[in-house]
Structure 1
Amino acid sequence: MTDIFARLIDIYEGRATRRYGLTDVHQLAHALQSADLAAEAGESPAMIIAALLHDIGHMVHDLGEDPASAGIDDKHEDLGADWLARHFPPEVSEPVRLHVAAKRYLCTAEPGYAALLSDDSVRSLALQGGPMSAGEAEAFIAQPFAPAAVRLRRYDDAAKDPARVTPSFGEFIARYGEAAQGRCP
């Protein structure tokens, strides 16, 4: 196992056990559920790892557990994507970078989507710029990794079930990690 995978296991198994916002799952369970949903959908190893790691930005900043409650947008999508880009190709980092914009996009593109958001997502949406304008939505979806980010967003939205059973973090890393980096497992 490479150093980056050992470090990711340390981050997620060591720091991701706090509650995921206002939901009944912690960040590790949310990450595992997101990856499991992506795997069930037949996504590529890169997309499964992107789903697993999409919120790593929350764990690599020094703003505390819940900066949104203090009115601070932690920009976790950019922090996480920049961190991941040092270790993974754009097929992993860029959907992570765009997953918050994907939420803003879906609020504009799909009537009723905003009503499905959790209280946490509604609160953070306001800090993240709110729904996109029609022009912003058109520009967003034309970006190369935007469709992947929209799929990632849907996994993110659905990954809040306290009863869902998933493989472990280490199992996802062992199965998909090296392939996500572009190496054979």
Structure 2
Amino acid sequence: MQPAKTDRDQHACTASIRNMFEKHGGSMYGGEAVTQQEHALQAAWLAEQQHSSDALVTAALLHDVGHLLHDLPDDAPDRGIDDQHEDLAAEWLQRHFPPEVVEPVRLHVESKRYLCATEPGYWEALSEPSRQSLELQGGAMNETECEQFRQGEHFEAALQLRRWDDEAKVAGLKTPAVAHFLEFVDRVVCR
């Protein structure tokens, strides 16, 4: 069980997220035509447009926060390095958020591996940088891994987050600003 947070803790968490986007959000998103911040905002905007829960909109906004936390170069995948950003993100998020935010984020890479194994045409639709990172992340799941993944409590939410992640790569797409989505964050940060 998560410890109760005060309003001060909540404000500090929101400020930390804002600062991460201000400091690191302008870096390019792994070979895609968008920045880290544009990618996060697009994913959150897709979630909001589908009338998702506050927790899932927050997860969409923060699913790649691990990229903002590590200090690896933008071309780490080109160097054969898996930054394990999903684990970094989950570790950071679990200090502030409930499992409904943390688990879809932790599982969004596994979701890509699952969909590559189970959905015809999914791999072919991935961007080249996403295919490259897939290889570093273990490739498509085998049948045993797929069955175990399907049993998870946050399976459906993780798949939905993965789909927004895949779609959130449109250069020049207008979305609400970070401040708009921090309202969702404020409603789900652990109190």
TM-score of the pair, normalised by structure 2: 0.92
1:104-156: CA deviations, max 9, x gaps?
00001101100000111100000000000111111101101121110000000
1:67-112: CA deviations, max 9, x gaps?
1111011110011011000011111111000000000000011011
Query: 1:161 corresponds to which letter in structure 2?
Result: V
Query: 2:64 corresponds to which letter in structure 1?
Result: D
Pair 1:17-2:10 in alignment: no
| Alignment match of 1:156 (pick from 158, 162, 165) | 165
SS in structure 2 opposite 1:111?
coil
Query: 2:185 corresponds to which letter in structure 1?
Result: G
Structure 2 partner of 1:71: 80
CA distance in 1, matches of 2:145, 2:167: 25
1:147-177: CA deviations, max 9, x gaps?
1110000000000111311110111102x11
Structure 2 partner of 1:8: 17
Structure 2 partner of 1:177: 185
CA distance in 1, matches of 2:40, 2:46: 10
CA distance in 2, matches of 1:74, 1:37: 25
Q: CA deviation at 1:182?
A: 5.5
Query: 1:180 corresponds to which letter in structure 2?
Result: V
SS in structure 2 opposite 1:2?
helix
8 Å contact 2:59–2:105 — kept in the other structure? yes
8 Å contact 2:108–2:161 — kept in the other structure? yes
Aligned residues: 182
Q: CA deviation at 1:40?
A: 0.6
Q: CA deviation at 1:19?
A: 1.2
CA distance in 2, matches of 1:69, 1:53: 24
Pair 1:87-2:96 in alignment: yes
Structure 1 partner of 2:4: none
Percent of residue pairs identical:
48
TM-score of the pair, normalised by structure 1: 0.95
Structure 1 partner of 2:140: 131
CA distance in 1, matches of 2:150, 2:188: 23
- Runs of 4+ off more than 3 Å: none
